[in-house]
Amino acid sequence: MFEEIGTTEEGDLIINVGPQHPATHGVLHLVLTLNGEIIKKVEPHLGYIHRSIEKMCESLSYRQFIYVTSRMDYLSAHINNHACALIVEKGLNVEVPQRAQYIRVIMDELTRIASHELWWSAMSMDLGAFTPYFLAFREREKINEIMEETCGARLTMNYMVPGGVMTELHPDFQEKVKSFIVDFKKTLHEYDELITGNVIFQNRMKGVGYISKEDVITYGCTGPVARASGLRSDIRKIAPYDVYDKVEFDEIIETGGDCFARYQVRIKEMSQSIRIIEQLIDNIPEGDFQAKTKAVLKLPKGEFYQRVETARGELGVYIVSEGAAQPYKIKFRSPGFSNLSALDHMVRGHKIGDFIAAMGTLDLVIPDIDR
Tell me the β-bridge partners of 246. none
Provide, rounded to whole angstroms, the least separation between the CB of residue 276 and other proteins: 22
Q: Which amino acid is at 117?
A: E
Per CB under 8 A, 175 contacts other proteins: no
Q: Are 251 and 275 in contact (CB under 8 A)?
A: no
Per CB under 8 A, 59 contacts other proteins: yes
Of 97-105, 271-279, 281-289, 316-324, the segment contacting other proteins by CB under 8 A is 316-324
Per CB under 8 A, 206 contacts other proteins: no
Per CB under 8 A, 349 contacts other proteins: no
Q: Nearest 10 degrees: CA dihedral of 143, 145, 149, 150?
A: 20
Per CB under 8 A, 232 contacts other proteins: yes
Per CB under 8 A, 60 contacts other proteins: yes
Per CB under 8 A, 259 contacts other proteins: no
3-state secondary structure of 115: helix
Per CB under 8 A, 75 contacts other proteins: yes
Please, which residue, 15 or 287, has the CB nearer to other proteins? 15
- Angle, vertex CA 299, rays to CA 298 and CA 305, nearest 5: 150
Per CB under 8 A, 282 contacts other proteins: no
For residue 139, how many other CB atoms are within 10 A of its CB?
22
Question: Mind giving me the DSSP string for 198-241?
Answer: -HHHHHHHTTSS---HHHHHHTT--HHHHHTTT----HHHHS--
Per CB under 8 A, 268 contacts other proteins: no
Per CB under 8 A, 255 contacts other proteins: no
First to last CA, the chain: 31
Per CB under 8 A, 183 contacts other proteins: no
Q: How far is CA 164 from CA 140, 159, 213, in A?
A: 25, 9, 37
Chain residues 121-160 in contact with other proteins, contact rule CB under 8 A: 124-131, 133-135, 137-138, 140-141, 144-145, 148-156, 158
Of 7-15, 94-102, 173-181, 254-262, the segment contacting other proteins by CB under 8 A is 7-15
Provide, rounded to whole angstroms, the least separation between the CB of residue 43 and other proteins: 9
